[in-house]
Amino acid sequence: MSTPSADPDPDDSPGLESGGGVRPGDTPPSEAGTSGLSHHEAKEPSKGLNRAIPVAIVALAFLFVLFLLVRVALLD
């Protein structure tokens, strides 16, 4: 059992000449391509912001650990 081809048979396609060309005055089939994007692509953040976010997270973690150490030291 074979699967039928998804491509149309040129012999059955209307408006095509024997070599596959289009008769004068006929419009060729439209393409499925798109001329643009379907949605707006977000702009990449700047390199400075890409570096600043991890640095800020590490700094906050360091301050939190420092806070805990000072608190333990004051309780003794």
Q: Give the whole-angstrom CA distance, residue 40 versus residue 33.
A: 18
- Those residues whose C-beta lies under 8 Å from the C-beta of residue 51, and which sit 6 or more positions away, are none
- Those residues whose C-beta lies under 8 Å from the C-beta of residue 26, and which sit 6 or more positions away, are 15
* Global model pTM greater than 0.95: no
The tens digit of pLDDT for each residue in 41-57 reads 778 878 888 899 999 99
The full set of domain ranges for the chain reads 46-76
Token pair recorded at residue 47: 């390199």
The tens digit of pLDDT for each residue in 15-42 reads 667 776 777 777 655 665 556 656 777 7
